Every structure is written in structure tokens, then in C-alpha cells.
Structure 1
Amino acid sequence: MADNRMQFSIDSNMQFPLVEIALERGESVYIQRGSMVYHHPDVSLSTALNGRGSGLGKLVGAIGRSLTSGESMFITQAVSSSDEGKLALAPSMPGQIIALELGAQQYYLNDGAFLALDGSAQYRMERQSVGRALFGGQGGFFVMHTEGNGTLLANSFGSIKKLSLYNQSMTIDNAHVVAWSDTLDYDIHLENGMWQSFGTGEGIVNTFRGTGDIYVQSLNLETFAERISHYIHTSSNG
């Protein structure tokens, strides 16, 4: 009988690994849109509104999250019709995949870090303060917050390092943050004021305080995009 707890394996022999998920009959998993690499015929994919509730309320909620956080209005769900369902996923960026067990610990996720969540767990988009939303880039006015028991697969741009705080504080470049324990307080701000931040190249940072874990990625997508933009030539008509 399906228990909706994710059974998966990550191929460590691959430079940029993919994850293969095994599903029993009736088991389901929510996955990042566009992340599917392959699946067996007995696994079916469907798209649903990315919202809670039903009817018009669910539609309005999905539209609201899409407008305010940049999150898709839709989410993909994979369901197996046999005990031998297989599904493989890969992140949209070259990097690492980690598994976070949900239950006693819950997490916040940064933009682009979500890969998959088994059907026994959930997440909600939690409203942030106006200051954090305008300043940060942690999902705009909303940030993803996990709930329940299960397994969350998160992906990074580059390698992932786990940092553990014990009644301590640490400041981290916001673009390097992947996920963090919801037991931590966090504050998004400029490193040294506007002019100093622009001068040093260290812009928006996130200061965490308390006890919990933070997962950081070794590469910065914003910096990488700036680098390659110099080599991308566009042509204009007229």
C-alpha cells in the first residue's frame, strides 16, 4: 500500500546528477515544471492550479501568488498506476541535489530551489513584510514554507554546503541562499549601505540569527548572468 514517502536515488557518478524516484501504486509526487527527464508508461503527469482550496478561491490564490512572487500558477503532479513506477528529474541549472526530511524540521526555500516534494507533505507561500519583499528577492511578497512529514528535494546552482548555527548569527549573500530552517530569524538588507555595497560589489545579504541550518550554493546566478551577458550579442531590426 502506498504511504506517499518518497523513495529515490541520486546518481553520484554523474557530474550533474539527476534523481530517479520510485513510486508505488497510487503514490504521487509534486515536481518542478519542466524537470522531468523520463518516466515509465505507468506514471502519468498532470497539471493543477498551484493553490489551496477549491473553485474560484483556488484560482484567485494561484493567480495572486503568480503575480506577487513570480511562482507559476501551475504545478506538475506525477502519479503511478503500478508498484513499479519510475520517474527521473533534473534541475534546470547545473548543480547539486539534496534531500531535506520534513517533520520536526521545516524549511524556507529560496527562488528556484524547489525540485520535488512527496505527496505526504505540503508547502504554503508565506507572506513577507513589505521591506523584505522589495529588498530581497526571496520570492517577492511570498516565500515558500514547507509543512507536514515527507521528503523535499532541493537543487542548487553549483555545490551545496550546510551551515549550522547554535544561538549564533551569520550574514550570507542572498543569491547564495538555497534553504534554511524555519527556526531561524532572518533579515534581508544591504551589506554596508547603498554606496558601500555598490562599491564593493556585495549587495543584498541575508543575516540569520538563532539555531538551525542554512544551505548555501557555491555559485551566484546573478553574477554568472552578468558575466555571460558580455558575450551575448543581440541584433535589432530597423
Structure 2
Amino acid sequence: MSDQRMAYQIDSNMQFPLVEIALEAGESVYMQRGSMVYHTPGIQLNTRLNGRGSGIGKVLGALGRSMTSGESVFITQAVSESANGRLALAPSMPGQVIALELGEKQYRLNDGAFLALDGSAQYRMERQSVGRAFFGGQGGFFVMTTEGQGTLLANSFGSIKKLELHGDSMTIDNAHVVAWSTSLDYDIHLENGFLQSMGTGEGVVNTFRGYGDIYVQSLNIETFSQVIGNHLVTGGGDDGASGSILDLF
């Protein structure tokens, strides 16, 4: 499209959003693997290596990012072969979907926040410092960083709130961070040292400084998984009174 912006519609009438994207002939969009809900016959889905470059270097780069950040080796590309292609996506977690317009502003994304990126924009996996990689959930040694002009769709676990920094700083629980402006400096660390962090239950936090935007999610997938785990019976006792929750079905 001439304005390099994705034509999309987020269905606000649904409790958990569905995003429908309109693609003209030759237009494409990169999307999270497994996020496709439906598409028209003119849409072709292709599997691509999740990397840039060519040849063996691209393969090794995709494998390296997968091992260090947990990101998939592959990414799905949808290409429209007709003038009125339609593609619907849904995130893997219950939450909100937002559109971030790229150009003057660029963003870094936390793990699991990427839903789709139109074909006119790009992303790169930016290497992080050892300290950030050790503490953070934002991609391990690599973090997804956008480039170019276009539209990025990001999803969250729960609702999303936008925070704006104007030369000040903000400390946020690392698991609540969705995306942040590349103009911001950030430091991933323990809140108050190891013992204090374990005592307060806050653990790893991210302190942002400078000028830019931060998008945070209301729910914490790590805390949620712990709550769910406390209600699951996975062990087996000698008396036969306990076992897997699956034994109930």
C-alpha cells in the first residue's frame, strides 16, 4: 500500500480480540506462528526462517536466536494473491491487541508480545548485554527490535496501559512489560538485591529512563502459572489417593 500502513480491524465487541487484516495483491504480513484463525482463498501462507541474510548464515542465526531467546526458528508469512484478501489473527493468550505505528518511533518487544508486522516494515534481533540477558525475559541474549515504516500488532496477557516518560524514570516488573520505545535506556535487575527481592516477591524488574513510551500488561504470566500450578495434582501417592488431574477424566 502506498502509505505503508496495514489495513486492519480489531473487533472491540469480542471479550478476547480478533484482528482481521485486509491485503491487496502482492502485499504480505509476518505473523506469530499458530495465530491464523481464517483467511480467504487468495491468501498464501509460507514458512520462513526467522532471520535476516541468506544461506548458512541465516540458518545459524535463526538457530542461535532460538537457543538463546526461546524464539521460534521459523516465522509465518502471509501473502495475498488477490486484490481483496482477508486474514484473521488471534493471540495465543487472553488479552488485548494494540497497533503501534512505525516510522519516527520504533519499539523493542518482550517475549510473546509479537503478533504481526506488515511486509513494508522489518525487525531485527538486537543483541543484549550479558547482564540484561541473564536477568531478563526480553529475549535472552536477543530482543526483537522494529525497523522501517509500517504497522506492528502487539498482544498482551490482560489489558494494556501506555506509560509516557519525559526525561524521568520508571521501574516495572519485568513480566508486565510488553513493548517500549527504542529511544529509552533500560536496565534489568533485581529490585533490592536477592534476599529483598525474594521477600517482596517482585524479583526481576526493568528500570526505564529517558523520553519514550512503555506498554505494560495488567496480568503476569509467571504469577498466573504459579497460581494454576498450586491447584494441579501431579504426584502419585502409595495409597492411591492422589494422582494426575487427568485421572479424573
What TM-score bracket applies, with the shorter chain setting the length? over 0.9
Q: Which residue of 2 aligns with 1:89?
A: 89
| Residues 4, 149 of structure 2: 8 Å contact kept | no
1:111-126 paired onto structure 2 within 5 Å: 111-126=111-126
Q: Which residue of 1 aligns with 2:224?
A: 224
Q: CA deviation at 1:53?
A: 1.1
SS in 2 for 1:144: strand
Q: Which residue of 1 aligns with 2:49?
A: 49
Q: Which residue of 2 aligns with 1:100?
A: 100
CA deviation vs aligned residue, 1:46-83 (integer Å, no higher than 9, x gap):
10111111111111111111111111110000001111
Q: 1:231 to 1:24 in 2, by over 3 A?
A: same
- For 1:17 and 1:59, the matched residues in 2 are separated by 34
Corresponding position: 1:170 with 2:150: no
CA-based RMSD of the aligned residues comes to 1.5
CA deviation vs aligned residue, 1:136-182 (integer Å, no higher than 9, x gap):
11100000100000000000000000000000000000000000000
Corresponding position: 1:181 with 2:181: yes
- Which structure has the larger Rg? 2
Q: CA deviation at 1:122?
A: 0.4
SS in 2 for 1:91: coil
- For 1:81 and 1:231, the matched residues in 2 are separated by 48
SS in 2 for 1:227: helix
Give 5+ residue unaligned stretches, structure 1.
none
SS in 2 for 1:62: helix
Q: Which residue of 2 aligns with 1:211?
A: 211
- For 1:87 and 1:237, the matched residues in 2 are separated by 49
- For 1:4 and 1:26, the matched residues in 2 are separated by 13
- For 1:202 and 1:4, the matched residues in 2 are separated by 41
Q: Which residue of 2 aligns with 1:71?
A: 71
Q: Which residue of 1 aligns with 2:23?
A: 23
Structure 1 residue identity aligned to 2:90: A
- For 1:214 and 1:153, the matched residues in 2 are separated by 15
| Residues 3, 27 of structure 1: 8 Å contact kept | no
| Residues 191, 204 of structure 1: 8 Å contact kept | yes
SS in 2 for 1:137: coil
Q: CA deviation at 1:5?
A: 3.0
| Residues 2, 27 of structure 1: 8 Å contact kept | no
1:121-140 paired onto structure 2 within 5 Å: 121-140=121-140
- For 2:195 and 2:81, the matched residues in 1 are separated by 58
1:156-167 paired onto structure 2 within 5 Å: 156-167=156-167
Structure 1 residue identity aligned to 2:217: Q
- For 1:13 and 1:199, the matched residues in 2 are separated by 41
- For 1:129 and 1:236, the matched residues in 2 are separated by 43
SS in 2 for 1:41: coil
SS in 2 for 1:47: strand
- The list of structure 1 runs, each at least 4 consecutive aligned residues, that deviate by more than 6 angstroms after superposition, is none
- For 2:3 and 2:197, the matched residues in 1 are separated by 49
Q: Which residue of 2 aligns with 1:155?
A: 155
SS in 2 for 1:168: strand
Q: 1:148 to 1:237 in 2, by over 3 A?
A: farther
The percent of aligned pairs where both chains have the same amino acid is: 77
Q: 1:3 to 1:105 in 2, by over 3 A?
A: closer
- For 1:170 and 1:188, the matched residues in 2 are separated by 12
Q: 1:3 to 1:27 in 2, by over 3 A?
A: farther
Give 5+ residue unaligned stretches, structure 2.
239-249
